[in-house]
Amino acid sequence: MRQIPQQARILDLGCGSAPVLRLLAAQRPCRSYLGLDLSQPLLDLAELGCPQSLSFPVRFERADLFKPSWAQDLPAPFDCVLSFAFLHHIPSYSARVAFLRQVRAVLDPAGKLFFSTWQLSRSPKLRSRIQPWAQVNLSDPEVEPGDYLIDWRQGGVGYRYVHEVDPSERFRLAQESGFEEEQTFASDGEQGNLSDYSVWVPRNKD
């Protein structure tokens, strides 16, 4: 949070119940905050958990971030775009590039993108939950290297798509979407390395 400037215009993509907003409220006063998520129940929780004493405007909106039109009509530009634990749920490399290009389009030229991706190969617990693609009527040739299907037991039982973004892919994603990497570090999980966190800045020349 220390790298997020004070009085920034924040866009939180895949905000969920907005835990990041509560951290920002305590540590980093913003100029404004907009949280987007597809799940209305999570957005309802975000509204309920929103601190009452905020000194900056907060808005939550339902949006399908898998669609190419999600960034239309947003009050851009934003100083900071946050997208924690979301990029790895976007199926296909081309769709991840398209999503990041949309992020680049709504980000101020002097702004920053902060995001994280799970690294399943570092977690024995998550590796044990990997399921065969046949469970959802797919086969290995139909998916990309680094794609996984895991069983999801939180709040019910189901399956979840996860893609492990390795350093070489992260470099290519940045190059193709108009960013350059400023910093990356590992955090989260029992071993402190479940997720890779990255800070990207727009390239001056696309």
On the question of pLDDT at 85 being above 90, the answer is yes
User: Is 80 among the domain residues?
Assistant: yes
User: Is 68 among the domain residues?
Assistant: yes
Based on the structure, what is the number of domains in the chain?
1
On the question of pLDDT at 77 being above 90, the answer is yes
Question: Which range among 5-9, 43-47, 140-144, 155-159 shows the weakest confidence by mean pLDDT?
Answer: 155-159
User: Is 72 among the domain residues?
Assistant: yes
On the question of pLDDT at 164 being above 90, the answer is yes
User: Is 101 among the domain residues?
Assistant: yes
**Residues of the domain holding 177:** 64-119+164-202
User: Is 93 among the domain residues?
Assistant: yes
pLDDT computed for residue 134 by the predictor? 96
User: Is 89 among the domain residues?
Assistant: yes
Q: Specify the higher pLDDT residue, 146 or 156.
A: 146
Q: Hey, is 17 helix, strand or coil?
A: coil
Structural contact between residues 80 and 9, judged by C-beta atoms closer than 8 angstroms:
yes
| Residue whose C-alpha is closest to residue 33's, from 68, 61, 64 | 61
Mean pLDDT of 66-89: 95
Residue 27: CB atoms within 10 Å = 11
pLDDT tens profile 189-202? 989 999 999 999 99
What are the residues whose beta carbons fall under 8 Å from the beta carbon of 150, sequence distance 6 or more? 120, 126, 129, 130, 131, 159, 160, 162
